[in-house]
Amino acid sequence: MFTQTRRLYPYLPFLAGVVFALLPGCSHKVAVLPDLPKPVFGASATKQVANSSVQARKVSQWLSPAFNNRAWPDGAVPSNWYPPVPDRQWNAIVVHHSASPTGGAAAFDKQHRQVNGWDELGYHFVIGNGTDTPDGLVEVGSRWLKQKHGAHCKTPGNFYNEHGIGICLVGDFEQQYPSAEQMEMLRKLIAFLMNRYNIPPEHVYGHGELKSTQCPGRHMSTNNLRHWLQRQDQIYASSR
């Protein structure tokens, strides 16, 4: 009997997990967005960090065919997502909302110059909501093309402006949710940036997680976004 019990030792953690999962009320549930796109990274795909290039690169090796074909039939990331100058050392991604019902890169660039007194648009990317630009359109800011520091997240030491990529979704997400098109393109853009600069999901933040602000709004859950980036396969299995 003792010998048989010793033989079971290697399997005890697994058996305990099975019993725990079957007990009522013990399962751990994580809130996720109700309607998610196909996973960006396949279950067996490996992350790849591309070198600098102005040419569009095929990324079908880490984009699922369904997601890829829905976004760009030719399977290529837009060439202007690749900066035409040497890459800056990016370590984080910061998500914002515009806190306005309308807008786009041109309108925000004008506001940042005339009202804020900045030299140009503070964000690196702006994702439209169908007002000034088409819903889900990713506009590339002039700072990104220069690989210039951001002006979107002032903190002590200014780390998140110096090394954080600023992405702004047009809309007031205190009042409404981002559109499905905006969220799909946000995930694709973040997945591209994570792979290119080896940024882990835990370094994707909402603006309000880094300083005292309501941005990007109560209807934009960065917890859900990180959960999706970390566990696409589990989410995909329970998604439509």
Query: Can you give the CATH number for the domain in which 213 is found?
Result: 3.40.80.10
User: Which pLDDT belongs to residue 108?
Assistant: 96
Whether 61 is in a domain gets the answer: yes
Could you tell me the pLDDT band of residue 110, with boundaries at 50, 70 and 90?
very high
Residue 14 lies in a domain: no
Task: Give the pLDDT confidence score for residue 33 in this predicted structure.
Answer: 32
User: How large is the average pLDDT for residues 61-89?
Assistant: 66
Cα distances (angstroms) measured from residue 111 to each of 58, 107, 127, 227: 36, 6, 17, 33
Q: Which two tokens stand for residue 4?
A: 């048989």
Share of the chain above pLDDT 90, in %: 52
pTM listed for this prediction: 0.68
Spatial contact of 183 and 62, defined as CB atoms under 8 Å apart: no
Is 221 a member of any domain?
A: yes
| Within a domain: 23 | no
Report how many domains make up the chain.
1
Residue span of the structural domain in which 153 resides: 33-237
Q: Considering the domain boundaries, does residue 46 fall inside one?
A: yes
Secondary structure letter of residue 206 according to DSSP: E
The verdict on residue 108 lying in a domain is yes
**Residue 177 is assigned to a structural domain of this protein:** yes
Q: Point out the least confidently predicted range of 149-163, 205-219, 223-237.
A: 223-237
Residue 4 lies in a domain: no
